[in-house]
Amino acid sequence: MSEKKYDAIIIGGGHNGLVCANILAKKNKKVLVCEARENCGGMVNHEIINYVPSIPNSVSQSIGGLNLKYNSKSTIALSESGKHIRLIGNQHLDHATIAKFSTQDADRYLEFHDKMSQFSKALGKFMLDSPPRIMNNSFSDYAKLFKLGLNVRMLGKKRFNEFARMIGLNIADELEDNFESTLLQGLIAHDSVLGSNLGPRSPGSLINLLYRMAVHGYSLFGGIYEMDGGSETFISALLDKCSKNNVEIKTSAVVKQCLIEDDMAVGVELNNGEKFFAKTVVSNADPRSTYLCLLGAQNLDTDVKRKINHHRSKGRVAKLSLQLNKMPEFNDCDDTDLNSRMVISPSIDYIEENFNPSKFDKLSSEPVLEICLKKDSNNNSSLDIQVQYAPYKVNGGWENIKNDYVNSIVKIISKYSSNIESCIENKTFITPDDIEQNYHVSGGHWHHGEIQIDQLFMLRPIPGAAQYKTHLDGLYLCGAGAHPGGGMHGISGKNAAKVVLGDL
């Protein structure tokens, strides 16, 4: 047996990996983090994300508190006619906000929000903890499952029935039943499908919204923030903690494989041949890479390979960044509006039609956009744009179509901002394929795998691998592919650390 220098080696210095490393190190465990890129942080990067939820208290407390400042973000759904919907902070819950364009929708909206908020809370309590494992007959696991059942049942008979009706539902049906404003429908539908592989009419698109609400303070539009200094501040704060807690970090250290002795994970081997040994190995990489590359298909049972092959993890979001030389003007928008989260998603049908070509690995000429104005420390401005339904691989290859596609996006924006083209200094465009290459995430999926009922809770990422353990003893998962899922909250990292500590 080789000498084990570390208690844990964490593969991947994304935020979940760093959260996990800090929790372990605080308990006096010797931890090494291997990060493939030049810097830690992974997809918590302005290149990828626009807005963040607030980091849950349970996570920041578990690493001794993080001093982060947030600015609440309003949302504005742009309309070509100029009749935008503005949802400022938590004012979307004021009847008057929505009554401005439809009193009927305002009534319905409050009811809808209340219902969705309750449902996401019922799931949310479950979300923040390790999921139960059903097959091992442990009492605490059954108790946990019972508690989830109880949470849902405690909603009352009417709500419980409603929950049962909605859990597999598509968001379009629910929105069309409730609202008359197609713009409001389009806005909520946008947030339901953002980052997923579903259209608003795909079954199960509603659960994606519940997940989003659960990690955004149980609110539809209230829990969206921008971090003071950018989301990278979160990573700097985590790295500060790491140096305080004596976490060893190696960057530009690409892990080639997990080392296995006697059917146990005992360390990692880097691409340059260096080997490090530890009592446990914790992977913050996505499940597919973890299983097929790090653990190795040759060390897996057939059924496990079948399951990991079925794991759905193809990303559908691209990111366009427009560096500006002057501020663009948006029709009927003031400065406050420009600083809001601007969404171009005029109706459910608009999204669905946009989604359709992506099913065939083709591009839509009118993508759904979420636009965010950013200023860096040198006061240079840019528009960061999430482009929904950019397929992971495109027919004919991304390289050939990229320019035309970027131009079509700019053309869409110019419908809402007549001078946009004259403001653009430079453009950068990142496809899911690029995310895969640059961030070592197979499929380039934000969440390391779809947030869908068959890939949630004890089924996340695959049956038999829940509770942060993999099929190899001593190898754990701590990333977005594990329960509860992606997004910048660090819950998977925190929960995984607890499991690793229990086994160390």
State yes or no: residue 305 binds other proteins (CB under 8 A).
yes
DSSP state of 56: P
* Binder among 125, 306, 326, 375 for other proteins (CB under 8 A): 306
Q: How far is the CB of 472 from other proteins (least distance, A)?
A: 9
State yes or no: residue 304 binds other proteins (CB under 8 A).
yes
Of 303 and 404, CB closest to other proteins: 303
* Binder among 228, 303, 376, 454 for other proteins (CB under 8 A): 303
State yes or no: residue 5 binds other proteins (CB under 8 A).
no
Phi, psi values for residue 217, rounded to 5°: 65, 30
Q: How far is the CB of 432 from other proteins (least distance, A)?
A: 23
Q: Is 449 exposed, middle or buried (0-12, 13-18, 19+ CB in 10 A)?
A: buried
Radius of gyration of the chain (CA): 22
State yes or no: residue 297 binds other proteins (CB under 8 A).
yes
Residues of this chain, 460-499, that bind other proteins according to CB under 8 A: 471
State yes or no: residue 310 binds other proteins (CB under 8 A).
no
Of 304 and 477, CB closest to other proteins: 304
State yes or no: residue 296 binds other proteins (CB under 8 A).
yes
Q: How far is the CB of 298 from other proteins (least distance, A)?
A: 6
Residues with Cβ within 8 Å of residue 176, at least 6 apart in sequence: 185, 348
CA distances from 394 to 81, 263, 367, 398 (A): 33, 40, 15, 6
State yes or no: residue 312 binds other proteins (CB under 8 A).
no
Q: How far is the CB of 260 from other proteins (least distance, A)?
A: 8
Of 263 and 335, CB closest to other proteins: 263
Q: Is 128 exposed, middle or buried (0-12, 13-18, 19+ CB in 10 A)?
A: middle
Q: How far is the CB of 303 from other proteins (least distance, A)?
A: 4
CA distances from 485 to 128, 208, 455, 481 (A): 11, 11, 9, 6
Q: What is the DSSP string of 148-194?
A: HHHHHHTT-HHHHHHHHHHTT--HHHHHHHH---HHHHHHHHHHHHT
Of 83 and 310, CB closest to other proteins: 310
Of 198 and 304, CB closest to other proteins: 304
Of 298 and 378, CB closest to other proteins: 298
State yes or no: residue 298 binds other proteins (CB under 8 A).
yes
* Sign for the pseudo-dihedral over CA of 414, 415, 416, 419: positive
Q: How far is the CB of 261 from other proteins (least distance, A)?
A: 12
State yes or no: residue 376 binds other proteins (CB under 8 A).
no
CA distances from 164 to 143, 174, 175, 211 (A): 21, 13, 17, 16
Alpha carbon distance 148, 439 (integer Å): 35
State yes or no: residue 257 binds other proteins (CB under 8 A).
no
Residues of this chain, 274-293, that bind other proteins according to CB under 8 A: 292
Alpha carbon distance 93, 109 (integer Å): 8
Q: What is the dihedral of CA 475, 478, 483, 485, to 10 degrees?
A: -140
Note the residues at the interface with other proteins (CB under 8 A): 263, 292, 296-306, 309, 471
